[in-house]
């Protein structure tokens, strides 16, 4: 009987440790996936790399997936990288879309915050909707505004991963971003 009680105590004592390790692994996975996506973006788009050198922080959502329920829910997790501290925080994005507007493939995006005022938008109560900002510029195929990469003048630049064209603006307009704490 004593051995059973000892075994149960050991199992119960190990549970919080395992839960903490699971959360830590989750944060490490988000960071790793986000870093890989950012490196891939830099390798494929020299403009992104040039803007990244001037950015105060970059929020990367490497893979936003679609879940079909009563409507189409799109969700993903990402990492905020700062120039001074590397991975600094984690965020969650979600959007409700209809099937006509989006394909089945996961997509992602990276938001380049060029100043502290734009970065403060992430910390608002109730989350942040990037599409509500007039100071957000989407960069990539299908968007014709020229980008000065030597001295970027915008507040926030969005670079899309695996998604192009006008649908991308709709995705960003309907997105909401909130901070999460995966540990």
pTM of the complete model: 0.77
Residue 57's pLDDT is 95
pLDDT tens series, the chain, 183 aa: 444 433 333 333 333 333 333 444 599 999 999 999 999 999 998 889 989 999 999 999 998 887 766 555 778 999 999 988 889 999 999 887 665 455 566 788 999 999 988 888 887 767 887 867 667 877 765 555 555 555 566 788 888 887 655 555 566 667 889 999 987
Residue 164's pLDDT is 54
Annotated domain spans of the chain = 3-180
Supply the DSSP string of the chain, one letter for each residue.
-HHHHHHHHHHHHHHHHHHHHHHHHHHHHHHHHHHHHHHHHHHH-HHHHHHHHH-SEEEEEEEEEEEESSSEEEEEEEEEEETTTEEEEEEEEEEEE-TTT--SS-EEEEEEE-SHHHHHGGGSTT-B-GGG-TTEEEESTT------SSS---SEEEEEES--SHHHHHHHHTEEEEEE---
Residue 7's pLDDT is 32
Of 163, 135, 150, 136, which is closest to residue 41 (Cα–Cα)?
163
Q: How far apart are CA 133 and CA 156, in angstroms?
A: 9
């Amino acid at each position: 009987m004593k051995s059973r009680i000892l075994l149960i105590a050991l199992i119960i004592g190990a549970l919080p440790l395992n839960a903490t390790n699971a959360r830590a692994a989750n944060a490490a996975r988000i960071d790793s996936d986000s870093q890989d996506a950012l490196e891939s973006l830099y390798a494929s788009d020299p403009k992104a790399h040039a803007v990244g050198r001037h950015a105060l922080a970059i929020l990367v959502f490497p893979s936003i997936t679609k879940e079909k329920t009563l409507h189409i829910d799109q969700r993903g997790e990402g990492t905020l990288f700062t120039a001074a501290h590397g991975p600094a925080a984690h965020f969650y994005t979600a959007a409700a879309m209809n099937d006509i507007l989006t394909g089945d493939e996961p997509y992602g995006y990276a938001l380049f915050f060029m100043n502290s005022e734009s970065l403060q938008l992430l910390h608002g109560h109730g989350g942040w909707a990037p599409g509500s900002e007039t100071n957000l510029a989407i960069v990539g195929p299908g968007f014709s505004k020229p980008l000065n990469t030597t001295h970027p003048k915008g507040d926030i630049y969005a670079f899309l991963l695996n998604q192009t064209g006008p649908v991308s603006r709709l995705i960003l307009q309907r997105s909401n971003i909130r901070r999460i704490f995966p540990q």
